[in-house]
């Protein structure tokens, strides 16, 4: 049965008090509290360094059963190597996060390319061919040259999701390239009508038996976390 996983890109924000985190909740308990209200989080920590086994164990121990972690792939792969000759380090990363997969807590892995990285279909195809087919992957392209049918065709060939990202700078066309969807909703605000449309869209994909991952903007204030909670309640 298809499910929706909703949350934010990060959780460790004291600015979310008291509208989301109660005033008496300590920062070390944020993740535990968060997992009581939302069922997924996108982790940026893995963009900058490999997580230790102890860190992964702590994440699992401090969250509710079934809580899912979507991880951002390391910047070494996307920003330094830029997908070229990246197979070895990608394997190192995947082995490092395997404890999450082993306990069924690993969600999609997001590869977020830098804004100045222009389209290279052959390079993308070569990189995707080296990824294991038993994990979920999503790609967020931030240069408009990638947003084209040839790129979508390569993603679809390998079952990789086009990250449906929207912000003030760029909106990704809703091209469905995998058996699941990955949304990053990062506009400054979403009106009640906007959120109603998002819920209707997610509901339609669930009827198509597609899992949907939705991550709202997280900085400054708790609006994104509250929107994610509202979405889960709407679809429960």
Percent of the chain with pLDDT over 90: 94
167, pLDDT greater than 90: no
pLDDT band for position 93 (50/70/90)? very high
Q: Where is average pLDDT lowest: 90-94, 148-152, 219-223?
A: 219-223
The two counts, helices (H) then strands (E), for the chain are 10, 9
181, pLDDT greater than 80: yes
How far is the C-alpha of 143 from the C-alpha of 116, rounded, in Å?
6
What does pLDDT average to over the chain?
96
Domain parsing of the chain, residue ranges: 4-235
91, pLDDT greater than 80: yes
pLDDT score recorded for residue 168: 79
Cβ atoms of residues 192 and 162 within 8 Å: no
Question: Packing angle between helix 121-129 and helix 149-158, nearest 10 degrees?
Answer: 10
What average pLDDT does the segment 109-137 reach? Answer: 97
Homologous superfamily of the 4-235 domain (CATH) = Protein of unknown function UPF0759 (3.20.20.410)
What average pLDDT does the segment 37-47 reach? Answer: 97
What average pLDDT does the segment 97-101 reach? Answer: 98
Count other C-beta atoms under 10 Å from residue 119's C-beta. Answer: 16
């Amino acid at each position: 049965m298809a499910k929706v996983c909703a949350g934010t890109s990060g959780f460790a924000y004291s600015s979310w008090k008291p509208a989301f985190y109660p005033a008496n909740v300590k920062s070390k308990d944020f993740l535990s509290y968060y997992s009581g209200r939302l069922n997924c989080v996108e982790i940026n920590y893995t963009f900058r360094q490999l997580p230790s086994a102890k860190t992964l164990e702590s994440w699992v121990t401090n969250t509710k059963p079934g809580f899912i972690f979507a991880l951002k792939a390391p910047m070494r792969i996307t920003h330094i190597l830029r997908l070229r000759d990246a197979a070895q380090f990608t394997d190192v990363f995947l082995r490092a996060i395997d404890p999450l997969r082993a306990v069924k807590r690993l969600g999609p892995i997001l590869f977020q390319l830098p804004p100045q990285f222009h389209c290279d279909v052959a390079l993308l195809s070569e990189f995707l061919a080296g990824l294991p087919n038993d994990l979920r992957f999503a790609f967020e392209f931030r240069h408009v040259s990638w947003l084209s049918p040839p790129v979508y065709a390569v993603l679809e060939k390998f079952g990789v999701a086009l990250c449906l990202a929207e912000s003030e700078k760029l909106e990704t066309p809703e091209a469905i390239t995998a058996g699941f969807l990955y949304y990053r909703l990062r506009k400054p605000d979403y009106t009640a009508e906007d959120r109603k449309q998002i819920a209707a869209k997610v509901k339609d994909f669930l009827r198509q038996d597609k899992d949907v991952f939705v991550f709202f903007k997280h900085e400054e204030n708790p609006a994104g976390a509250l929107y994610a909670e509202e979405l889960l309640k709407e679809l429960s």
